[in-house]
Amino acid sequence: MRTLEAKFHPRVRPMRDSRLVSFVLLVGLLVTTAASACPNCETSQVVKASVLGEDFWRYLVMMVVPFLFIGAVSAYLYRIGLPR
């Protein structure tokens, strides 16, 4: 019986190369470090004020409540089951 083996083009190596994975992890860590480097600078304060402004909670509720409602109705219908 033949075994199933992945066949790759001679010039293409599978993505199991540890150097590639290490590089991607390093770049990801550096980007997140740079993004959180200045939490109290003036630009950061302006962005926080615009994102977490006075309408933040209203928009958050408008985004979350439909999912909670659909989830609650789905759980209720699952709990009572379908009629047989």
Per-residue model confidence as pLDDT tens digits over 4-60: 555 655 665 555 667 788 888 888 877 766 556 677 788 878 878 887 888 888 888
Q: For tokens 């990801």, name the residue.
A: 28
- Give pTM, 2 decimals: 0.40
Distances (CA, A) of 28 to 14, 16, 32: 21, 18, 6
Rounded Cα distance, 57 and 75, in Å: 26
